[in-house]
Homo-oligomer: A and B are copies of this chain.
Amino acid sequence: MDDRAIGIFDSGMGGLTAVRELIRRLPGEDVVYFGDTGRVPYGGRGRETIIKYARQDVAFLRTFDLKVIVIACGTVSTTALEALSQENPLPVIGVVEPAAQAAVRATRTGRVGLVGTRATIASGAYERTLRRLMPQVQVTANACPLFVPLVENGRYQVGDPLVELVVEEYMAPFKAAQVDTLVLGCTHYPLLWDAISAYLGPQVTLISSGAACVDTVARLLEERDMKSGRTQGGRRRYFASDSAQDFDALASIFLGEDIQGQAQQIAIENY
């Protein structure tokens, strides 16, 4: 039994889709979330910059007493997980391995698609992991750099012509490749679930990288007897590097619940 909190961070708001899943699956756990809204998005930035920012994010989270750190960000997971794991004396869980495992379990044909930010796709981390788990896998990958700005501007609904045009453009290669499983390798993308699913059809299984990594966290806590003694009522604390009001206002989209007045702003460059 371990009542310490789970630390979770993302470049911005997207990681809240993983927090939502964490709250649903493990409602008794305390959660500390940091969203780097003052420096979002990470996906188009250089490798060294992403690693530097991720180190500061973890340094801030570790001012709390944590039992595990979750990287709820595809870009950081593919770019900085190794460095962060080596530098920190507690488990650091990214989204790549869990999502790749879920994809390998789901695929029947071995044709797996992958979407993510430019940095995530360029890293090749998902492909390497998929290939290690399933050597005969055929991976089709496509960076979708406009998905994050669309979602962050509230544009993700089915029926929005702009959303449908962008989804069609980015998803056409997966239809052509006849994938039967698509990994959403960025925690913003689950908001586009319905639009993507409507285009690809019900025969394609979508894998949410955030939900997959929450599975892994739940298993880890179970195996190591590190679950909280509570089964309900975990405390959630939210921090952001830009305006807390703006965070509160947008959070409900990603989290599916209102956190009005709960977020606090911190100066991440001091960590």
Binds B, one of A99-107, A143-151, A183-191: A143-151
Chain A, range 14-45, C-beta contacts under 8 Å to B: 37-39, 44-45
Complex Cα spacing A245 to B47, Å: 12
Q: Are A48 and B243 in contact (CB under 8 A)?
A: yes
Cβ of A71 to closest chain B Cβ, rounded Å: 19
The answer to whether residues A153 and B146 also contact, given A45-B242, A269-B269 and a CB cut-off of 8 A, is yes
How many chain-A residues does the 8 Å CB contact rule pick out? 28
Q: Does A222 touch B at the CB level, under 8 Å?
A: no
Q: Does A229 touch B at the CB level, under 8 Å?
A: no
Q: Does A65 touch B at the CB level, under 8 Å?
A: no
One digit per residue, 1 when the CB lies within 8 angstroms of any chain B CB and 0 when it does not, for chain A 225-250 equals 00000000000000001110110000
Of all chain B residues, the one with the shortest Cβ separation from A169 is B162
Cβ of A41 to closest chain B Cβ, rounded Å: 9
What are 7 A-B contacts defined by CB distance under 8 Å? A44-B152, A46-B245, A49-B242, A145-B153, A149-B149, A161-B165, A162-B169
